[in-house]
Amino acid sequence: MASSTLSNAAGLAILGSVLGLGLAACSIRPLPETSPLNFPRASTYDIVQKVRCEAKAGLDRFKDTELAEKAGRTIRATSIGYDFQFTMQENNDLGGNLGLAGAAKGGGAPSGNVDVSGGITKDRKNVRTFRFIEDLSDVAKADCSGSSTAQNLAFPISGALHIDELAYTYVRLETLSNLRRLEAGDHGDVAEAEDDPRRRVGVFSEYLRFSTRVEAGAKPSVSLALTTGSVGVRAAGLNASAWRTDAHDVIIAFAQDPAFHTVEMQRARQERAVLTTQISVVGETKRAVRAPRFVTALAQANAQSRNQVLLEIARVRNLKDNVREEPKFLGQRLLTFLRPPDESQPGE
């Protein structure tokens, strides 16, 4: 009787464990397409292709509209940058324990106990990063035939991300320099600019973050009564669990070439250049603006579109990394400060 109970329990435990392990985490190296929630199985390439095609769809909304020409000029002068970071982690934990006991003759309490346990924990983590910057006019010419994706609430990166709205909003804002009242016949959500659209300057960026966690587990155990005067299994247990987390970060930034802007904007650009140029005063190098972030922001505003995008991506990415990087940097400075001078490394 006891042995049949044990075998049934063991069977259930094994079934539960296999199901749990298989459901949540079963890949050698976590990738977007190996997530159980990624339907249809979108690979990294598919995700990038989809993002570009969504951006193209946003630009296509200007075709055959009154804004087509203005939007076209803006698109030709714009660079777009993408920074992807996919952090995927899977964990499987499998453990078991077996309790043996010897019961004394005459029904006494067990006089000997031996617990044997063992386990294996597997953890796989993959951080995939890549970044590229291209001309928005390249995106407008992308081949996106047959590209249509529905939303995926459980695993958003594999579905529609509405980058079309982002691209559309950027171009629409860039064509907006002198607001007038919205009138009948206007398209879209903002009024058409009255004059030359080449006035607005700046970087437009968005930082998307998605995280998904899925887990499953089984923890069966069985306790058995021993007959007197025998040695046998007192208890047995199995612990199986698995989880997977996916964190997907996407930074998208747009910026225009400075040459695209009007004379007025060019003048402002020259003024910014003066503010950030180092000058020598009594043998000491100084600049009018000293705050590091402000200096970088001014340099970014004056940079070519590709560099503006690059600096914007670096800025957003650094903000995220600061949570870990700042204590590290501060700690290194403290350690350097506390170190005796004769132990300092070159350059410290």
Partner 1 sequence: MHWSWRGAGREATALLRAGMLVAILPACSMHPIPDDATRVSTVDIVRSIRCEALAGIDSLRPEERARAEPIIKASVIGYEFRFTMSERNALNDGKAGSSLLTFKNGSAFTGDATGSASLSRANVRRFSIIESLGELRSKQNRDSCADRAVRKNLAYPVAGRIGMDEVVRTYVRLEMLSELQGEQSHPVESSGTFTRDGKHVVFADNITFTTTVDAAVDGALVLAAAAGFQLTEAALKADASRMDTHQVIVALTRKEVDVVERSRRRFAQSRRYARAYADRQDILAEDKALDPRTQALLIQVDEAARTRVAMELHRRRSLDDPENAPAEALGQRFLDLLKLP
- Here the tokens at position 220 are 């069966």
> Binding residue for partner 1 (CB under 8 A) from 60, 206, 215, 257?
257
Q: Do 188 and 203 contact (CB within 8 A), yes or no?
A: no
The DSSP 8-state label assigned to residue 341 in this structure reads G
Distance of alpha carbon 2 from alpha carbon 233, whole angstroms: 10
Residues 108-127 that bind partner 1 (CB under 8 A): 111-127
Distance of alpha carbon 25 from alpha carbon 216, whole angstroms: 9
Name which of 48 and 154 has its Cβ closer to partner 1: 48
The DSSP 8-state label assigned to residue 1 in this structure reads -
Name which of 150 and 338 has its Cβ closer to partner 1: 338
Residue 321 beta carbon to partner 1: minimum distance, rounded to whole angstroms: 7
> For residue 143, with 0-12 CB atoms within 10 Å meaning exposed, 13-18 middle and 19 or more buried, which class applies?
exposed
Residues 7-66 that bind partner 1 (CB under 8 A): 28-29, 31, 43-45, 48-49, 52
Residues 125-184 that bind partner 1 (CB under 8 A): 125-135, 137-139, 141-143
Residue 44 beta carbon to partner 1: minimum distance, rounded to whole angstroms: 5
Q: Do 213 and 243 contact (CB within 8 A), yes or no?
A: yes
Residues 273-292 that bind partner 1 (CB under 8 A): 276-278, 292
Residues 81-110 that bind partner 1 (CB under 8 A): 102-105
Name which of 183 and 285 has its Cβ closer to partner 1: 285
Residue 190 beta carbon to partner 1: minimum distance, rounded to whole angstroms: 28
Choose one: 2-10, 145-153, 207-215, 310-318; the region binding partner 1 (CB under 8 A). Answer: 310-318
Query: Which helix (DSSP H) or strand (DSSP E) does residue 45 occupy?
Result: helix 44-60
- Here the tokens at position 62 are 């200007």
Residues 187-246 that bind partner 1 (CB under 8 A): 229-232
Helices (H), 141-224: 163-174
